[in-house]
Structure 1
Amino acid sequence: MTAMTPAPTRTRPDLSYLLDHTSHVLRTQMAAALADIGLTARMHCVLVHALEEERTQNQLAEIGDMDKTTMVVTVDALEKAGLAERRPSSTDRRARIIAVTEEGARVAARSQEIVDGVHEKALGAFPPEDRETFLRLLNHLVDGYLSTPSPSPATARRPRQRG
């Protein structure tokens, strides 16, 4: 029997855990708050960014960090709810844009209030004098060292077996 080797002593806070945990909890709170008006965070993202300017489905998917399939499902749900529709672009006849309906614009305004409220509650955990500092430092990470993911090796997966 071999002796257990003690785990290395942590000398710094686990930044990965702190960021991941707070992000996860914030996403769950956001999902619950938006569900009250029948939206998902992705639906909110598409509505808000489609209202800013004429954008294609691909452009909106990139802004929202969504893959093509997720984007199609999201736009389908928005169309079914009468909040958005696919239309030909005014500048490129081959392209289709996501246009927000009048009802979609009303819902987007309400969802933005909800999102802002969730964010304000999270920031309310800080004393007022620390909120701006926290946001400034977090933006510094986002715009600097943590702005670009590192290339990662392909995930090792077994090939799908044919049935």
Structure 2
Amino acid sequence: MTAMAPKRAQPDLSYLLDHTGHVLRTRMAAALAEIGLTARMHCVLVHAVGEERTQIQLAELGDMDKTTMVVTVDALEKAGLAERRPSSGDRRARVVVVTDRGAETVRRSMEIVDGVHRAVLDSLPEGEREVLVRALTRLAEDHLAAPVEAPVATRRARQRT
């Protein structure tokens, strides 16, 4: 006989947010793969296009560690979508510059990302779409804006490559 989970006093927000976030990430990954991008590559391109940003700045914007950023920029360079160049303001620093081909890819990837997001929102009744976005935005900007220190580091969900 298996033990029954105790009745919950509150909805399991951890499960709801983790599960829907995971499924959204898999759908996004599949959609971006159609044009040869990963979500990380898309993130770097979007934040680098039209801006002079270092790898460190882009890593912070995309919540990536240094190793992941190096691998991502290497892949973008290999695909001809971005290049590392000396910064115009600090010759010691190197910035990631989006190529013309990369800028076109950004346009296409933004259409894909917007389409995935639109499909998710369109799956809800019209009156619930704005409520969901407003509630999630409020949480992201306020109560859940920043992680707290925990005695044991909390790992993010593993993403398959």
**TM-score, normalised with respect to structure 1:** 0.89
Aligned positions of 1:75-154 closer than 5 A: 75-154=73-152
1:160 aligns with none
Equivalent residue number for residue 157 of structure 2:
none
Give, in whole Å, the separation in 2 of the partners of 1:5 and 1:42: 41
In structure 2, how many angstroms separate the alpha carbons of the residues matched to 1:92 and 1:140?
A: 38
Q: Give the 3-state SS of the residue equivalent to 1:69 in structure 2.
A: helix
Name the Cα RMSD after superposition. 1.4
Secondary structure in structure 1 of the residue aligned to 2:43: helix
Q: Which residue number in structure 2 is paired with residue 9 of structure 1?
A: 7
Q: In the superposition, relative to structure 1, how do residues 89 and 17 fare at CA in structure 2: closer, same or farther (>3 Å)?
A: same
Rounded to whole Å, the distance in 2 between the matches of 1:73 and 1:44 is 13
1:37-73 CA distance string (max 9 Å, x none): 0000000000010014111000000000000000000
Task: Give the 5 Å matches for 1:38-77.
Answer: 38-77=36-75
Q: 1:49 to 1:5 in 2, by over 3 A?
A: closer
Of 48-57 and 19-28, more deviation after overlay is shown by 48-57
Q: Against the structure 1 CA distance between its residues 139 and 52, is the aligned structure 2 distance closer, same or farther, given a 3 Å change threshold?
A: farther
Q: Which one is further off, 5-14 or 140-149?
A: 5-14
How much identity, in percent, do the aligned residues show?
67
Note the alpha carbon deviations across 1:3-50, whole angstroms, 9 max, x for none: x98643212110000000000000000000000000000000000100
124-133 or 72-81, which deviates more:
124-133
Q: In structure 1, how many angstroms separate the alpha carbons of the residues matched to 2:150 and 2:100?
A: 43
Unaligned runs of 5+ in 2: 154-161
Task: Give the SS at the match of 2:60.
Answer: helix
CA distance in 1, matches of 2:38, 2:88: 28
**SS state of the match for residue 8, structure 2?**
coil
Measure, in 2, the Cα distance between the counterparts of 1:102 and 1:53: 14
Residue of structure 2 in register with 1:158 after alignment: none
How many residues align? The count is 152
